[in-house]
Every structure is written in C-alpha cells, then in structure tokens.
Amino acid sequence: MLYDQEIGRWLGSSIMRQQSQYHANLQDLRADQACEFLLEDPGFINWYRSPTSEHLVLLGEMGSGKTVAMGFLVDELRRRSGQQLPQAKVCFYYCQNAGPDQTAQILSCLILSLLEQLPGLRKTFYEWYKQAQASGHFEPATDTNKLREFLQKLLDAIDRQVFFAIDGLDECDRPSRGVVLEYLEALSQKMPRLKVLLSFRPQEGIMGQVKGMPKITLGCNDKRDSLIVRKAVETQLSYLPKDVEALVIERVSHLAQGSAIWTKMVIELIQTRGIMALGPMRLFLGQVPLPTQLSELYSVLLSRHTSNDSDNERHANMALAILAIARRPLSILELAWAVAMGTAPPEVTTVAALSDLVDHQRLMSFIHPFVGRLDFSDLKKRQVRLIHQSVKAFILEHRADQLQSPVTSASTDGVTLQQRTESLEGLLLEICVNYLQLGEIGTTEIFPEEQVAMEALPRDVDLFSDDALLADYKPGCSWEDWERGMVRYDPVDRGFGEFFVYASCYWMDHFSAVTNHPLPSLTSIENLCRAGSTRLDNWVQQNCRPDCAIQPRFEFDSSLYDPLSITSLYGSEDMLRGMLENSDFDKDKFLPNPLIGAASQILQWGDFARVKILLESKHGHQLQNLDFFRLIIKRWSAFSTQFKDWDQVFDHVDFVLDISVRERWAVELLCVASGAGCKPLVRRLVTRAQHNTELKKELMRGLSLQ
C-alpha cells in the first residue's frame, strides 16, 4: 500500500483515473457494430498476428470517431488477452487537451498502467525511483529521460506481449510528439513483444514521421454513419415516437458525412430542445443549426492551431472562408496563393511579388483540423475541402465578420445567413479579380506561338496516332475521361502563378452570386474585361480549359466581349445598371457598339429580362434601330435558343414603334420578320398597327411600294 501511494503521487494517479473514466465514457457512447470492420482490416490482422514488434496507425479527420474506435480496439485487445496465457497487457493514453511537454504525462500513464496490471513490479519500480533521487534526480517523474529509462526497464522485466495504444497524438505539441514517436520506434527495435497502436489526424508533419507504418483510414461510410446514429438515438432519444425516431435516424445519418462528433452533438441538441412531434422535428432537421458545443470546439481548435496570434488567425480565417465558398476543391498551392492574394498589401501588383508571400506549410498547419485528408506529395492535386458542412456553418456564423475587406466590410448587425454567404462570395470575387489584374497576366500571352499553332490544327485528326479520327465528345462521358491523354499546359510556366486557373474559371460564378451592395468596383471589372486586351484573352482562354488541356471544352471568343457584355451575362442587375449609368462607353475599354454586343450575348446566352435594362438605360437609343431587331430575329432563328421565352423580347418592339415610323423602317422590319418566318414579331406589328394610326399608314405606304 505504501508503494501504491508513493508511486501514485510521483506519477500522477489522478491523471490515470481521468484516463480510465474517459475510457468508460467512450464505452457508453460506442456502437460496437460501427467499429467491427476494423478487426477485418488486413492492416489490423497483420499487425496483431505479427511475431515481431509492429506499429499500426489509425487515421481520421477531426470528429471522424477515431477516439471511439481506439477505445473499441483497446477493449478488443483486452478481451483477446483474457483468453491467452500468459495474458498480454494493454496500456492506453488519450491525448485530450494539448499542452506543453505531454511526453511526461504519456510515459507516466503507461508506467502506471503496467504497474497496476503487474503489481509484482511495484517494489522494483519504487527502488529504481529512490535510487534516481539519491543520485541527484529529485523529481524523476518530471524528467523525460528518466521516465523513458524506467519504462524500458519495466518492459525488459515483462515476459509477455504488451500493447500500447495512444490516441490523438496530433493533440500533442510538436516537440512532445517527436519525442514520443522516436522513443516508441526505439523501444520497438529492442522489445519484440511490444506492439504500438497510434491514432491521429493526417497532417504533413506527423505523416512524415510515420512513413512505412501500416495505416487504417477512417473514411466516410454510410453504413457506419447509420449504425452510429441508431446507437445514439436508441441511447438518448428512446422516448421518441417510432415515426419521429425513424426520421431522425434517416436524416442525421444522411447529414453525418462521417462526422461522429457532429452526430453526437446534434442528438444532444435534439434532446436539449425536447422536440417530440414529427412536424417540428422535420423542420429542425431541414436546417440543422450548428450546435453550440461544436462551435466552441471549433473556436478552441482554431485558437490553438493559430497560437492565438492575430496574423495567424487572419490567414486561417481567410483560408477557411475561401474553402467555404469555393466552387471546387482547391490544391494546397491554389489555396496558399489565394490567401496570399487576400492578405497582400496594395503594393503587391505582380505575380512575382505575390509569390514571396506564399507559405503553404504555415497555412496548412493553421487549418489542418478543418480539412479532409491531404496528399502532401502532390501540392497541385485539387483536394483541399472542409471536412463537414458544420465547419462551413461555423465560418459563416462566427468568422465571416472578422474578414476585413473593402468589399465585405459593411455592417454585419442582424445580417442573414444568405447575406453572410454573399459576403464571402464578394471576398473570393475580389481575390480572383485582384489576382487576374496582376502585372504578368496583362502582358504575357498564355499560349506561346507553338501552342497557338497546335490549337490551329484540325481537331478531328490525331497526328500522333494511327487512328484517323478522334472521338467526338459524348454527353455521357466525363470531361476527365474525354481529355485523358490530351496535350496539357501549365500556366505557372508562363509566370501566371498557382491561382490563375481557379480565378479565370470561377470569378464569373462569384460575380453572379454578388447581388447586393457593396458591389465590385466598375474600374476593376473594366480593367479585367478591357476589350481586345491580353488580360481578357488570357483568362478567357483559360476559362474554356478548366483542366488545362490544350483543346478547349467550349467556344469562348474573347474578341466578342467587353466589360458590358460580361456584366450583362454574369453581373447582378444592380451592377449592370451601375455600369450603364456610370461607365464611359467611348473609352477603348469597350467594343465600338457595346450595347449591341451586350444584347447579342444576352440573346444567345443570358437572361432575356436584361435586354429591357439595356433599352431603359440612357444608352438605350443605341438599340432603337432596325439592326437590333435583325439581331433578335437572327438569334430567334437559331435552334439552340428556340426553347426560350421569346415573347418578352418581341414585346420590346413597343420601344421603337414611333421611331420606326419616323425613320421609315417599320415596313422593312415587317418584311424581314415575315421573310424569316418570325410570326410572333409579325403578329405584334399587325396588332399594334390596328391601334396605332401612324404605324398603320406607314406599313400600308411601304407595302404599296413593294
């Protein structure tokens, strides 16, 4: 008993009790069926059966259930050891709250666990400890080297297999983590009966330290999610009516997406709110709020990984906001360049200058708990995404307001979720537009002459194949399959940096999403879309080649576009009205006839309602002529546009009835429409003439001359 008290005081028996209680709590939460697949994994089977010392790594994103799975494996190892002689000993440690120098805590708990299971060694350990004190080490339990020595001596004295299970090693600070991994590796080489089980989030630093170790990855699995949800509902919501219970299981399983921690907290939130009836439950599950506990956890993690430093936090917030609103997963380098652009001072105006601000390793160290597993061997792979929709909700609710930007810094009092989302759209739009305005992108052509020549070759002939023809694109074929084997290029080689592809391909998507004030500046859009500019041609060329195959996926002729036509297609109505009111169309930024050009694009690709905005503007007179209606008839005749609602376009004839009579081209319009078989326009002219004496006279006069 004396030994127990002294050893407990030295090594911290209270921490050991906390570990045991935590393990017991995990048992209450656990759905064993959701963990049993681990026992059938070849990695676990080989690790367990190996006659030599081995390490096994369990990988999973934040909230994926790693800790519960580790608890299951600990209990399974204990169960199996109970059937063996001599019985193997299982020791575990859960890294919960990160703090400085956790190495001593981990080693102390492993030693205590061994001494509890092998009481015959307590006296021996007591004597070792006293000898260490006598030799000048007054607090051996705080000396990592002495603890390592003690643990190795204990293992030397044990005549059976020992399992060490350490969960959440990524929660430790980097020095502690490095010491623990190095020590366990050294132990394994000396102790053939030792097997080590580790779990952590996959991040660059720690993954580099466990190369060669077998790994099991906890991914998203619908069946596993369903088992976890069912267990939680049966345990905590057993009072619900059967139909409500079934709804909860079905919806929460669908939304879980592999996040066991989100599942746990949503079930607890349902319990807290006491929702019982089917209707209210359906409403709740239709838009599940972010649980307060989960929000607090995310805040703590973000503060921890940014070291509570304001600059670190600014970069992390920017990165997470970009991921929350991006149209596709980004590469590690794309994200790093985007954040550099979003945080760059105004004097950074070139790609070369921006490159000096890019630090992808620093950035990923801030946000790695919030993103999916990454392959750090391929920094260009489009793989960075938020791990769960709850992280996006957290960013929108608690971090969007902290991003300072001229475009997004309006008052956020009482803003809605939609407004916050649009604020982030504006942020990423600003980043894209600013990036595309960097110096090199406006002076260097994306394709050198040899690539232009290659593009000019007949597209149905493969000069490097015996096949006479390339297969045409088929709608059921993915673009990735269709472009497989095609010649590709890298805009980075032209000095355009890593974010050029995303900015070129998606800035217009974000432009379309920003419908409220503050809107992008007219100057920035005019500079980006300047008619005939190298800058316009560069991003247009890239836009139709989103995966950088030389052959474009669709036609996009930059010579047909200018700031007004792009804004007519993709900008908000307010943005379009602002440009019509305030831009100087006589400048060389615009095509010679900007309204006709914009109308042509709208009639072919856009929202017909915007034609009226053009007509009602102070420049609308540019469309009040026969050429405009010839254009309408031409677009109407095209097969690809016949499914659209053309009535609202033909109704615009009312804008020109008087001028067509005054300038005597009404009858020519009637003839052109009739010749093209455009009955809707002919019908309108005839109907209007029945109520408009001047129009009727003009049509009769003109027809009499035919």
pLDDT along the chain (706 residues), means of 10: 73 86 89 92 94 91 90 95 88 79 87 90 85 81 86 88 93 86 89 92 83 88 90 92 94 91 92 94 92 90 91 96 97 98 96 97 94 90 94 89 54 68 94 98 86 54 44 68 86 97 97 87 96 96 94 90 96 94 92 95 92 94 93 84 82 90 90 91 92 87 68
> Do 362 and 368 contact (CB within 8 A), yes or no?
no
> Do 294 and 261 contact (CB within 8 A), yes or no?
yes
- C-alpha angle 313/203/54, rounded to 5°? 150
Specify burial of residue 605 (Cβ count, 10 A radius: 0-12, 13-18, 19+).
middle
CATH number of 2-218: 3.40.50.300
> Do 101 and 173 contact (CB within 8 A), yes or no?
yes
- Chain position carrying tokens 């999916």: 372
Complete edge-to-edge strand list for the sheet that includes strand 215-218? 89-94, 162-167, 194-200, 54-60, 215-218
Q: How far is CA 556 from CA 406, 500, 540, 541, 613, in A?
A: 31, 17, 7, 7, 24
- C-alpha angle 673/677/680, rounded to 5°? 70
Q: Which two tokens stand for residue 127?
A: 């004597």
Contacts of 122 (CB under 8 A, 6+ apart): 3, 4, 7, 115
Contacts of 257 (CB under 8 A, 6+ apart): 220, 225, 388, 389
pLDDT (0 to 100) of residue 416 = 79
pLDDT (0 to 100) of residue 521 = 92
pLDDT (0 to 100) of residue 466 = 44
pLDDT (0 to 100) of residue 589 = 95
What is the C-alpha separation between 399 and 314, in angstroms, rounded? 10
The pTM assigned to this predicted structure is: 0.85
What is the C-alpha separation between 513 and 224, in angstroms, rounded? 36
- Chain position carrying tokens 């095209």: 638
